[in-house]
Chain A
Amino acid sequence: MSPVVNNLLNVVLILLCVVFGAALLTWLERRLLGIWQDRYGPNRVGPFGTLQIVADMIKLLMKQDWVPPFADRLIFIVAPAFAMFVVVAAFAVIPMAPGVGVVDLNIGLLFFLAMTSLGVYAVMFGAYASDNKYAMLGGLRAAAQMVSYEVFMGLSLMGVVMLAGTFNLRELVLAQADGWFIGPQIVGFFIFFMAGIAESHRTPFDLPEAEHELTAGFHTEYSGMKFAMFFIGEYVSVLMSAAMITVLFFGGWLGPAWFPPLVWFLLKTMALVLLMILIRGSLPRPRYDQLMSFGWKFMLPLALVNLLITGALILI
């Protein structure tokens, strides 16, 4: 197989798998939340309710694609596409197995951080263009939350980078051949995990879209496929956080030779996704000021201390 064909195949397959996986995740999440709340969740359409995604898709496509007359039309339309684009683009650098992965950047980690930082623009665009007070409150919260969680998200990864001595994600995985970074970087893992949940704004950090206070936050005015883009974007970013944690802390595709590398990667990612869904199913949403003070007064110092200790240990 020529490299061009190989690359194209990689791109198309990974894109399809990511989007389809995110769609499947909506079903999985509803089923799991159902199980944890002592009910069944969607179990009617197709085997175990898996065709629920198709039903939802049909419903969303059939809906009137309405742009409010008071909205800023261009930005209103661009925002959901942007939300989807950033997370899918960030997936490009994630190495899934040897030979599976879109690009092999030597600054892969920085690219990932850059893309997740851009994610806040999608939310802000959507909120601004909606010209709606709930959307504005959601947008304000999203901006403040994502900017503050961005800081220690980057800092928490620096420990891993110090240990491996590279920004290249493939080399980061290979550096974990004799021990996953979850051991020495348990604090970093914890901080990055929290930041990952906050970045994909899911419960308990779902203040931008807090249904109970802000109807739907920044996507209050969105309907049809535009809403679906935000929605799928959120799930892709869950997948992305989980995949990134797998790569950085759980040794990516490395594992005993019982399964092929790709299966190991998927299994680890899946386990982390399950943990995220469990957290969504159990923890309540904090108040907004509590969220900010948790970020700035606890997580940021913790990240700095972690960095300090890691650096000191490496020097010794």
Chain B
Amino acid sequence: MKQKTGLGHYIYIVWDYFYSNIVTLVKVASHTFTKADTVEYPEQMPYLAPRFRGRIVLTRDPTGEERCVACNLCASACPTDCISLQKTEDESGRWSAEYFRINFSRCVFCGMCEEACPTYAIQLTQDFELAEYERQNMVYEKQHLLIDGPGKHPDYNFYELSGKAVSGRAKGAGTHEAEPVNLKSLLP
């Protein structure tokens, strides 16, 4: 293609460049009258999605017992190794955590622990305001993590469904649970 030359074309190019810049100026200036997108955070709370992943809590089942059975799956799922815990067993046969520690200065709030948890014990909440003046305060112990309610799955009770006998409930007494088969019987 033949390259266009000449004064007319030169003037056209100059006009084109200046026109586009002037359009830019006018469009930017028109933003004087648009509303700012800023969410003025401390006064105005931002919208949080229903599945927002914030501060981690340990929930209790509907009867008020701790849900956590200290299986260690959350700790092994954790990509930053910020969860540490130790299992213990009480006289009724329930397993629970002797200590349960989350180091929130390492935590990346990925939610892997919540996905790994077989008892819905560990859950992520909407709270993200975790600032501390001292780094040691970012380490949450079990008493800081435990909440009083059941959290996201209000009716779930692990020991009701798991089939494990704990004190007060023999084998076969749980929900959706058949009586144990009597091996000595000849009946079908």
Contact = CB atoms under 8 A, between A and B. Distances in A.
Determine chain A's interface SS by DSSP, over half rule. helix
B36 A39 contact: yes
A38 B35 contact: yes
Contacts of A101: none
B28 A282 contact: yes
A37 B38 contact: no
B25 A282 contact: yes
A283 B31 contact: no
- Which of the four size classes fits the interface of chain B? 10 to 19
B37 interface: yes
Interface of A: 34-40, 278-279, 281-283, 298
Interface in B37-74: 37-38, 40
Contacts of A281: 28
A36 B32 contact: yes
Given A281-B28, A282-B24, A38 B14 contact: no
Interface of B: 14, 21, 24-25, 27-29, 31-32, 34-38, 40
B44 to A, nearest CB: 12
Determine chain B's interface SS by DSSP, over half rule. helix
Given A35-B36, A38-B37, A278 B31 contact: no
Given A40-B38, A298-B14, A35 B24 contact: no
A37 B31 contact: yes
Contacts of A278: 25, 28-29
Contacts of B21: 282-283
A36 B29 contact: yes
Given A35-B32, A38-B31, 16 more contacts: A35-B31, A35-B36, A36-B31, A38-B35, A38-B37, A39-B37, A40-B40, A278-B28, A278-B29, A279-B25, A281-B28, A282-B21, A282-B25, A282-B27, A282-B28, A283-B25
A282 B27 CA distance: 9
A255 B34 CA distance: 33
Contacts of B14: 298
A279 B36 CA distance: 20
Contacts of B25: 278-279, 282-283
Nearest to B42: A44
15 contacts: A34-B36, A35-B31, A35-B32, A36-B28, A36-B31, A38-B36, A38-B38, A39-B36, A39-B38, A40-B36, A40-B38, A282-B21, A282-B25, A282-B29, A283-B24
A39 B41 CA distance: 13
B159 to A, nearest CB: 52
Contacts of A39: 36-38
B106 to A, nearest CB: 31
A122 B40 CA distance: 41
A312 to B, nearest CB: 20
Most chain A CB within a 10 A radius of its CB, from B14, B28, B29, B31: B28
